[in-house]
Amino acid sequence: MIDRVGADPCLVVATPGAEPVADGGYRAVLLLDTWLMLGRDDLRAEEEALRRWFNAAALSAVGGRVLAVGDPELPTLQALVRWDPAGAAARELDERLSARLTPTSRMATVQGSPGALSDALVLLDLPEGADVLGPVPVTGKEPEQERVVLRVPRHLGAALSRSLVDLQKQRSARKLDPVRVQVDPISL
């Protein structure tokens, strides 16, 4: 990986996050395959794509051009074109609020073998108003694993955490098969 390139005319091809700084900035920045970054199976795919695109575009020289190859009607590309990270963040927050996703609610995942997960759900004393989503199979895990997503309103986040700590204490004391607990995971 190269950290810096000189001001002499040259063509630099870099992967996202590995763009070298050009003395005086780039005359042109070309963002290819925008659909690829937006198509990732991750709650933060749009946020991450926009962050990387803004970082790459910021490397352009004064008067330089930025060309993003993708569907111009996509809100994420529109935020880049308008240079509006605040608007993109507000839109993302509104969407997460309507879907009751973090950071507008508190979430946790519990993952383990089907039997261990079933036992954990029996022992788990969730706060009033908690949602249990799943279980669903976890793909690519051997032996077989399942996951549930637990969701509570933001003000019940501490109560959810206490419930999960109590669950793990009980399971440990009884020497039950382990389950993995993550609070506010980055991806589901």
- Length of the chain in terms of residues written: 188
Provide CATH 3.30.70 ranges for the chain: 105-183
Give the predicted TM-score (pTM) of the model: 0.75
- Mean pLDDT in residue range 102-125: 93
- Mean pLDDT in residue range 95-122: 92
CA geometry: angle 149, 110, 183, nearest 5 deg? 75
Q: How far is CA 61 from CA 56, 66, 110, in A?
A: 11, 10, 48
The HSE-up count of residue 28 (CA atoms within 13 Å, CB side) is 10
Residue 44 has pLDDT above 90, yes or no: no
Q: Strands, E, within 69-186: which ranges?
A: 105-112, 131-137, 146-153, 180-183
- Mean pLDDT in residue range 30-39: 91
Q: Which two tokens stand for residue 139?
A: 């793909």
> pLDDT tier at 101 (50, 70, 90 boundaries)?
confident
SS3 109: strand
The HSE-up count of residue 52 (CA atoms within 13 Å, CB side) is 21
Residue 27 sits at φ, ψ, to 5 deg, of -75, -25
Peptide bond connecting 137 to the previous residue in cis, omega within 30 degrees of 0: no
pLDDT number for residue 143 = 83
Q: Which two tokens stand for residue 168?
A: 């793990």
Q: What is the rounded distance in angstroms from the CA atom of residue 118 to the CA atom of residue 112?
A: 9
Query: Which CATH code, of 1.10.3470, 2.60.40, 3.30.70, 3.30.200, is assigned to 105-183?
Result: 3.30.70
Summarize pLDDT for 71-100 with one digit per residue, the tens. Answer: 999 999 999 999 999 999 999 999 999 988
Q: Checking DSSP bridges between strand 60-68 and strand 21-22, what pairing results, if any?
A: unpaired
Q: Give the CA radius of gyration of the chain.
A: 22
Q: What is the rounded distance in angstroms from the CA atom of residue 179 to the CA atom of residue 15?
A: 37
